[in-house]
Structure 1
């Protein structure tokens, strides 16, 4: 079967995360978005771990589902065409490691996956001797990345590690602030056990294809959701059985790995270089021309993902390795509807309209990728126009930098107002 997976999310026990980041809300939003397989996030946190054990029951090999007595309909109706009980979970967590190596402080984030609670418990017991797992759903540990990989592999058959958002300046394995130039530098002789890399919101596969050293890795994308509505903003697509070990084999071999759905990388908050506090945004050429120094405050600029990719690239822009899986760049449906209605994407007006659209047309990802434009037009002509442009990649891009999200728009300023005046008095 073909399905979307979002295997990097957080619970309500992680810092700066929504109180609604519980299993019920995560499941409901996964159904709304069209995500069949979710990470649990944060299984290292003792309270969340016990909650997972109490409220998840075994499903397919290595996967879990909510107990049937939990009522999701109280949160709202599912989108059209989605039956209850379709969402599965696999045990996942994110670990932040901070340590000294090569006369530099390294701050690297990692995603860790376990096929069962016994393996996860063994992993947690090892880490509990190193740091305080109850302080944060994403624990910060003073251990080397290689040591974390070793602990992961020793926790049981099927346990694996994926470097998280690898280009992020502050916490990515290739990040400009504290990263490395190669996977081998970071993980040493155990690097052969790394077979997938999470590209992060500020890069896409096309950017990564410029670095030949990454050809042997599957490039995965996930939401890193800190609240349930953010689920599915990036996903990895599989054509396998819904099975932990089938997903693992797809990542190891490429068979059954069908690519990703992505942000436009310019929307990510570290795409370009700059200084948020000084309102300075620069492209790689401008950064080099200024020797990496902010023209306002005289301090080093935060070097973003595009610059870092160019530093390590040994291929021209636009190069595509033979046989690699593809990807689709999307804009979340609430952002599109917010642009059409000229209100914020989290407003009640947008939520109500998205409720109406998904009830009629199905989950968000299906609307953005597959529903015929004519069917969308029957419910919202401007959304149909937006989706048509989105599928062609015809978007207006304002890149993010230094922790500030970029903006992707589908319409020119004033275009919707002019079209509305020429047709009907309301957009919907």
Structure 2
């Protein structure tokens, strides 16, 4: 079975996350975005853990379904094309470890997965003495990354850890502010138990392929959604049985790991270097020319993902490792529709149009990747043109830096014209 998975999300108990980040809203948006397997997120938080126990029921091995699905409530009001879609949950949590190693403070984020509630409860007991689990859905723990991995593995068969958004400056395992140069440095003698890396929004697999030491890892991408509409903005594609352990085998072996759907990395918040407050954005060569110092305030720049990749790269160009899965750079459908209509991607007008498109053409990934351009043109010529450009990688890029999202556009100034955007009474 081929499906999209988004295994890095947060609940309403995580800081800076939407109050709508509950299981019902997450499941509804998973359907809209064509996501079949979702991370349940934040299982270390006591209140959220109880909600998970109450609202999830066992489905396939290691996976759960929403109890509300059993009486049809979960899909009520969704477009017909997605209302019947299956959604499964996998127990997941993002953990922040803060500690001293090698004379530096290390702040590393990790994704931890468990095949059942007993294993998750054992993990929670194991880490509770290192931090207050009730203070944040993404707990901050005062222990070494290697020790976190040891606690994870002790929870039994199927428990595993994936380093999160590995290149981001502040919290990535390779981040410029507090990271390491290799996985072995971070996880020590247990590094052999790491088999997958999350690329994060500011990098894609091709950037990682410039570092030969990463060839043996499976690249995964997930949304890190802080609100339900962000679900599925990045995802990983599998072609395996709908089964926790089948997903795990695919990540270990590569068989059934079909690749990732990614942002264009320039859209990520930390792609280039700079200072947001000073309005300074620099490419790596400019940063080197300035000695890493902001020309406005005289303080060190926030060194972003591209610079850090170039620092560790031992290849001039990306070389796809033998057997490595491919990837697609896409722009979320609401962003494309918002650009055409000249309004924000989360506006009611955009959401209504996207619902109409999903009802007519299928889930968002299908529209962006598979539906013939001619079929899209029958509903909206400007959308068809945008999707055609997207599939060919013909986009306009304004890279993000120092916490500021970048912008990816499909049209230049003056296009599409206002007359082009109204082709049918229902869509555009």
**Closer, same or farther: CA 421–242 of 1 in aligned 2, 3 Å:** closer
Alignment pair present for 1:80 and 2:81 = yes
What residue is the counterpart of 1:107 in the other structure? 107
Change (3 A) 1:423 1:365: closer
Per-residue deviation, 1:347: 1.2
Counterpart of 1:80 in 2: which secondary structure? helix
List alignment gaps of at least 5 residues for structure 2: none
Q: CA deviation at 1:305?
A: 0.1
Q: For each residue in 1:209-254, what CA deviation from the matched residue of structure 2 results, as whole angstroms up to 9, or x when unmatched?
A: 0000000100000000000000000000101001000000000000
2:301 paired residue number: 301
Q: Aligned residue for 2:182?
A: 182
Cα distance per residue 1:281-307 (max 9 Å; x no partner): 000000000000000000000000000
The CA distance in 1 between the partners of 2:151 and 2:217, in whole Å, is 21
* Partner SS state of residue 416, structure 2: helix
* 1:131 Cα deviation after fit: 1.2
Distance 1:305 1:393 in 2: 21
Residue 383 (structure 1) aligns with: 383
Which whole-Å deviations, capped at 9, do the CAs of 1:252-279 have from their partners, x for residues lacking one?
A: 0001100100000000000000000000
| Shift, 1:83, TM fit | 1.4
- Aligned pairs for 1:151-162 (under 5 A) are 151-162=151-162
TM-score by length of 2: 0.97
SS in 2 for 1:334: helix
Deviation, structure 1 residue 415: 1.7
Aligned to 2:204: 204
How many Å apart are 1:377 and its aligned residue? 1.1
2:2 aligns with 2
Offset at 1:79? 4.8
Q: Is 1:220 matched with 2:207?
A: no
Q: Which is worse superposed, 344-353 or 328-337? A: 344-353
CA distance in 2 between partners of 1:250 and 1:423 (Å): 44
8 Å CA contact retained: 1:82, 1:362: no
Kindly indicate whether the alpha-carbon contact (under 8 Å) linking 1:14 and 1:136 is maintained by their aligned counterparts in 2: yes
Deviations 1:166-211 (A, max 9, x none): 0000000000000000000000000000000001000000000000
TM-score (norm 1): 0.97
Calculate the aligned-residue CA RMSD, in Å. 1.6
Residue 69 of structure 1 deviates from its aligned partner by 3.3
CA distance in 1, matches of 2:325, 2:72: 37
Alignment deviations for residues 389-417 of structure 1 (CA, whole Å, 9 cap, x no partner) = 10111100000000000000000110212
User: Post-superposition, which runs of at least 4 consecutive aligned residues in structure 1 deviate over 4 A?
Assistant: 421-427
Q: Deviations over 1:118-168 (max 9, x none)?
A: 000000011112211000000001100000000000011110000000000
After TM superposition, give the deviation of residue 319 of structure 1 in Å.
2.5
Bigger shift: residues 344-353 or 412-421: 412-421
Deviates more, 1:212-221 or 1:321-330: 321-330
Partner of 2:26: 26
Mapped contact 1:12–1:21 kept (Cα < 8 A): yes
